[in-house]
Amino acid sequence: MAPVRWVVGRVPERLAKPVHQSYLVDASPKEAVFRLSSIGRFLVRLGEPTVVQRACGATDVDIECLLRGPVSALRCCLDGQFALRGAAVDIGGRGLVIYGTAKGHSSLVAGLALAGHRIIADGVVVISEGSPHASAPPEAWPPRVTLWPDSVRALGIDPTTGTVVRSGLPSRSFALGAAPSPTPVAVKACIVLPIGYRGKSPDSVEVEPMPPSWRIQALLNAQWHPRVLRDLGMQGRHFQWLTGLAAKVPMVVLARKPRSISSTLPLMVNKAEEVLTWQE
């Protein structure tokens, strides 16, 4: 039986003595509150289910959506784990992590899953310290991939097999590909999707190794809750973590024109599979 991930209860608007306070998050070393007025308040304590005080009109689907995303990432912060905003896929036991400022992480992972690979995570990717391994946070297990209608069409997925992600949004989540691995997968490469493509053809993609000087910044930009980490005093440790990851794992930029998902996705999938064979 799956562990209880959340319970309904009273959640304070603010923590009594937070070390971090922002519009959406209060955090202290042992607990944190995430609040979004249209959905509710979430109290996160290590070792305990998340307590949820739902807003009027919020559904279980809305609650689950935040639990799988920012709230699970907040739990990672309290636990000292490193979580990236992105997605990850297991290709023959080798982990490929995808992040970056451009949209398309989920579509690419879905394309790879349909090619027979295993989804590791979508939205929050937990990466372990030392020898980097990728996994989904417990709240987002089993991993599903969230897709918008254009990607669903481009991938030839039956839209009726998807699950509503948020009330009123057209995106759906799907369980795709081979059964996910229950254990973390060793990260062997990272793909960064940047905004901006200088090429002329709308149907091609650019693939190039990421310059070492850009790697740290790209990882910093993809971190979940960086200001919470800073205020919890974990910035130094996480920076070491990032530099280690940047040094150990090949990082590749995959750029394409915006608005070209349907025409470039098959090529993106092929290139992503090739990246694991790159030797730096």
Partner 1 sequence: MAGMIVWLASYPKSGNTWLRAVYTSMRTGRDPDINALEGADVAADRGLFERVLGVRSSDMTVQEVEVLRPRADEAMVSEQSGDTWRKIHDGLFNGPTGEPIVSVKATRAALYVIRDPRDVAISMASHAHRTLAWAVERMGRRGASVSSSNSSLSDQLCQRLGSWSEHVLSWVDHSRFPIYVLRYEDCLAAPVPTFRAAFAGAGLQVSAKDVAAAVERSSWQRLRAQEDSVGFKEHVGGSRFFRQGVAGAWRTELPEALARQVETQHREVMARYGYLG
Residues that bind partner 1 (CB under 8 A): 22-25, 36-38, 65-66, 69-70, 73-74, 85, 100-103, 123, 146, 148-151, 165-166, 168-171, 195-200, 202, 221-228, 257-259, 261
Q: Which amino acid type is present at position 256? A: R
Provide the minimum distance between the beta carbon of 248 and partner 1 in the complex, in angstroms, as a whole number.
24
Q: Which is nearer to partner 1, 126 or 222 (CB)?
A: 222
Q: Which is nearer to partner 1, 56 or 179 (CB)?
A: 56
Provide the minimum distance between the beta carbon of 23 and partner 1 in the complex, in angstroms, as a whole number.
4
Provide the minimum distance between the beta carbon of 115 and partner 1 in the complex, in angstroms, as a whole number.
22
Concatenated DSSP letters of 244-271: HHHHHS-EEEEEE-TT-HHHHHHHHHHH
| DSSP three-state, residue 217 | helix
C-alpha to C-alpha distance for 224 and 232, rounded to whole angstroms: 13
Q: Which is nearer to partner 1, 135 or 146 (CB)?
A: 146
C-alpha to C-alpha distance for 162 and 180, rounded to whole angstroms: 17
Q: Which is nearer to partner 1, 160 or 183 (CB)?
A: 160
Contacts 24+ apart (CB under 8 A), 53-57: 53/8, 53/9, 53/10, 53/11, 54/8
Provide the minimum distance between the beta carbon of 69 and partner 1 in the complex, in angstroms, as a whole number.
5
Q: Which is nearer to partner 1, 160 or 277 (CB)?
A: 160
Backbone angles phi, psi at 87, to 5 degrees: -150, 165
Provide the minimum distance between the beta carbon of 269 and partner 1 in the complex, in angstroms, as a whole number.
18
Task: List residues bridging with 82 in a β-sheet.
Answer: 127
- Token pair, residue 9, equals 């209860």
